[in-house]
């Protein structure tokens, strides 16, 4: 593999990985590196470049995708798999959206392709364990975004941006999005005329409703609706919420977000809660986490439990270790690991994320964890200079990977183990090349399919310090 250089900006999670509301869901992200022609995938596996949202279908009629279950382990041609055969798909905007690069493959074929790519990228440093796939690789996204606009007949539409344009492709349902979230978006669109709410026109700058964001707790069932407006006033907002909740009583909170700037960002800075508590909660690995409109939270809860569980298992905590959770975001990994460690230190540059992390720790009654707002690399260098000893470092960097300064800080702190959770296998390969030259040996590599039907893959890697 051709190694790429470090970016100077690839620091401590302040580029949008941890506060995903700050960035557009559709443009400007780094590609996965799987294919030069592949569509882009965002910090959370959002399919990008070709759309702000995901590939869709109509009324959940997926043709060969609709009624067959995956049976792992059978030979191709004999297995029953939810997924069309190569080159066949019933998605009406498959090529225009471009988000599901592997939609034409059966799910077992997707896993084989990802396994092959991981072995090509990473197999030279350590044998790659079998990829962890999903039993039901559909409707896994608990976060759904739709952009609103007008068609040529001046009727309101909602959906995704076509690649390279701001032309909206209408979408009512998508095979990887939460079905209830899709239904809520369609309902909101149907209510606009009766409440005389105009959608925003990007060309003229007139109109009100720009986007709708829906987040749903997988275990709690709580639902948050975020209405992104071009101005701060929503006419008859109380009646609108009442009518919406009459059709969807599962909605537990509604937030108005104001984005009055000409920008590709989805969410603006100002927010007003007009119903409920302004956030939802969900359970992950036995801990409860608060999810606000801008919170970073993995969008595939089923696979996230497996991802974090595997990462903590690789750390092999006994209750006596001191752990650093670098790029800790809202504290998910550190809080979960704290149950099995003596002490956990979370470090994150983003102030809002640190605030949420502290709240999450208090909410779970976790007392052996402390969070610091700082650059993780600088923080760890200071710890090393003060003679502090760490047993394990968890690192879950943004797509750009870690910069050289951070990796040098890991070397200086010299933990016994490093558990690296990567959302970009190419930058992982680069970073492993550096660490393995500095007294670390890769002992385990395991891919996890967090985003079926896309070419994106997360990887957990365990490194052990060797003295000789």
Look at phi and psi of residue 168 and say left if phi exceeds 0, alpha if psi is from -120 to 50, else beta.
beta
**What burial letters (b/e) apply to 319-355, b meaning 16+ CB within 10 Å?**
eebbbbbbbbbbbbbbbbbbbbbeebbbbbbbebbbe
Phi, psi of 377 (to 5 degrees): -65, -50
User: What is the greatest pairwise CA distance in the chain?
Assistant: 73
Query: Cβ contacts of residue 303 below 8 Å, gap of 6+?
Result: 132, 134, 140, 448, 449, 450
Catalytic residue status for 423: yes
Q: Distance (Å, rounded) from C-alpha 346 to C-alpha 324? A: 6
Q: Contact, 225 vs 250, CB < 8 A?
A: no
- The span from the CA of 229 to the CA of 217, in Å, is 24
d(CA 24, CA 48): 9
> Cβ–Cβ contacts within 10 Å for residue 69, how many?
11
The SS3 assignment for 197 reads coil
Report the C-alpha gap between 460 and 462 in whole angstroms: 7
Residues 6+ away with beta carbon under 8 Å from 109: 76, 83, 86, 102
Catalytic residue among 285, 423, 446, 457: 423
3-state SS, residue 123: coil
Q: How many residues does the chain have?
A: 468
Q: What are phi and psi of 102, to 5 degrees?
A: -105, 20
Where in the sequence numbering do the catalytic residues fall? 423
């Amino acid at each position: 593999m051709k190694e790429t250089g470090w970016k100077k900006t690839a620091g401590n999670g302040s580029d949008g990985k941890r506060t995903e509301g700050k960035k557009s869901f559709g443009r400007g992200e780094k590609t996965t590196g799987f294919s030069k022609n592949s569509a882009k995938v965002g910090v959370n596996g959002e399919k990008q470049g070709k759309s702000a949202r995901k590939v869709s279908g109509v009324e959940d009629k997926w043709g060969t995708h609709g009624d067959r279950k995956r049976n792992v382990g059978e030979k191709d041609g004999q297995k029953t798999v939810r997924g069309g055969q190569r080159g066949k798909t019933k998605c009406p905007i498959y090529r225009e959206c471009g988000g599901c690069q592997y939609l034409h493959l059966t799910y077992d074929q997707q896993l084989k392709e990802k396994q092959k790519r991981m072995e090509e990228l990473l197999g030279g440093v350590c044998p790659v364990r079998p990829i962890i796939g999903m039993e039901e690789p559909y409707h896994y996204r608990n976060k759904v975004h739709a952009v609103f606009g007008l068609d040529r007949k001046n009727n309101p539409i909602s959906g995704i941006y076509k690649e390279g344009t701001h032309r909206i492709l209408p979408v009512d349902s998508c095979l990887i999005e939460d079905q209830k979230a899709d239904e809520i978006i369609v309902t909101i669109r149907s209510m606009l005329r009766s409440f005389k709410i105009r959608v925003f026109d990007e060309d003229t700058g007139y109109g009100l409703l720009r986007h709708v964001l829906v987040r749903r707790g997988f275990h709690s069932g709580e639902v948050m609706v975020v209405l992104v407006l071009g101005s701060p006033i929503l006419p008859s907002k109380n009646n609108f919420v009442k009518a919406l909740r009459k059709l969807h009583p599962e909605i537990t909170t509604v937030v108005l977000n104001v984005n009055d700037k000409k920008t590709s960002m989805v969410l603006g800075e100002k927010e007003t809660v007009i119903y409920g508590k302004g956030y939802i909660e969900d359970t992950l690995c036995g801990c409860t986490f608060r999810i606000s409109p801008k919170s970073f939270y993995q969008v595939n809860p089923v696979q996230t439990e497996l991802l974090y569980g595997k990462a903590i298992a690789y750390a092999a905590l006994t209750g006596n270790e001191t752990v650093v959770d670098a790029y800790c975001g809202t504290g998910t990994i550190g809080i979960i690991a704290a149950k099995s460690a003596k002490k956990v230190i979370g470090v994150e540059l983003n102030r809002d994320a640190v605030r949420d992390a502290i709240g999450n720790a208090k909410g779970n009654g976790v007392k052996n964890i402390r969070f610091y707002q700082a650059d993780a690399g600088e923080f760890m260098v200071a710890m090393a200079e003060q003679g502090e000893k760490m047993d394990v470092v968890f690192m879950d960097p943004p797509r750009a990977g870690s910069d050289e300064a951070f990796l040098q800080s890991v070397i200086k702190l010299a933990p016994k183990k490093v558990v690296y959770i990567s959302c970009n296998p190419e930058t992982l390969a680069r970073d492993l090349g550096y660490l393995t030259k500095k007294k670390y040996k890769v002992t385990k590599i395991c891919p996890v399919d967090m985003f079926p039907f896309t070419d994106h893959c997360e990887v957990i890697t365990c490194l052990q310090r060797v003295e000789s």
